[in-house]
Each structure stands twice: as C-alpha cells, then as structure tokens.
Amino acid sequence: MRGIETAEIRAMGPAMKGFLGLYDSRHRFTSDDIRHMHRVWLGEIYEWAGEYRNVNMSKGNMMFAVAMHIPSLMGTFEREVLGKHTPCNIIDKNRIVEALAKVHVEFILLHPFREGNGRIGRMIVALMAAQGGFPIPNFRMLEGDGRNAYFAAVRNGLDRNYKPMEELFRKVLKI
C-alpha cells in the first residue's frame, strides 16, 4: 500500500468519529458539510482538500460531471437530493435505504473531488444511516468481488435506476 493511501486510511477513523459527534439525527446535510468533511479528513494530506476539482475525470468508460459545472451541480444536489433525504430519521427502513441509495449514487456521479469521492460518499451514507438509527455500516462487501456489483449499481444511476444500489445497501445494513 502506498504511503499516501495509508495516511488517508489512518485519517478516516478520527474524522468519522468527529462527524458522528457533529452531525446529529436532525441535521440536514449541505454541500458545505461535504466540503468540510473532505477538508477535515484529507486536509493534512492534500492542500486542496475540500475544494472541488478543476479537472475532468472518468473511470473506465464513464465520465463524471464536467469540472466547471461542479459548483452549480453541487448546489442542485444540495437542494434536490440532500434537502429531500436528510435528515434521514425516517421510520420506514425501505425509505431509508431508498434515500441512502439515491444520495450515494448521485454524489458518486458528480465526483466533485480529485480524490476520496467513494469514501466521502460512504461516510455520508454512514452518517445518514446513523440518523436512521442504524449502526455504522460495514462496506467491506463492496470491495473485492463486490466492486463489480457496486460499479454496476452506480452506472444504473445514470438512468435514475437506484434499485441495484438499494439492494447492495440492504445487504450492507443487513435488512
């Protein structure tokens, strides 16, 4: 494992612990919260932590949001996705899973940062799950062989089909 990856992993635990104390069950997440989370987590590693990327990015044959549109798209994401699905203190478990899947997929498709988008996306899901009374999810099943199903679920989000991600999150949350 590269030194930078080790530093990122080590910084994650303390950052997440702090976020659990900061964002309670009544908190409505914003794009500024996400930038803050990225800065807190990676600020000792990257000088640009918490800043939206200014380069276009892709993974495989999937292009993420065009860099110059990210500030505007994050504003839309805040209003139309975070604003509708947080706080995530819903009683119905199915609605919680739907909210987690939509927020996660839409965030990943934006891919607003140069590094750490998947992990920040999982942190957001973990914080939302905590708002809904769930323990912090263990995302290990999305690694290794589970990565293909995860990436397929993200790609389905391009068509606003969140069902595959919902199924993955049901397994992660064990419901």
Give residue limits of the domains in the chain: 3-173
Type of residue found at 172: V
**Greater model confidence, 107 or 174:** 107
As a whole number of Å, the CA-based R_g of the chain is 15
Q: Which CATH architecture has domain 3-173?
A: Orthogonal Bundle (1.10)
pTM of full prediction above 0.85: yes
On the question of pLDDT at 1 being above 70, the answer is no
Query: Stretch 91-118: mean pLDDT, rounded?
Result: 96
pLDDT band at 168 (very low <50, low <70, confident <90, very high): very high
Percent of the chain residues topping a pLDDT of 90: 87
pLDDT at 39 over 60: yes
What contacts 120, CB < 8 A, 6 or more positions away? 34, 37, 38, 41, 107, 113
**pLDDT tens figures, 116-147:** 999 999 999 999 999 999 999 999 988 888 89
Secondary structure element (H or E) that encloses residue 59, with its range: strand 58-59
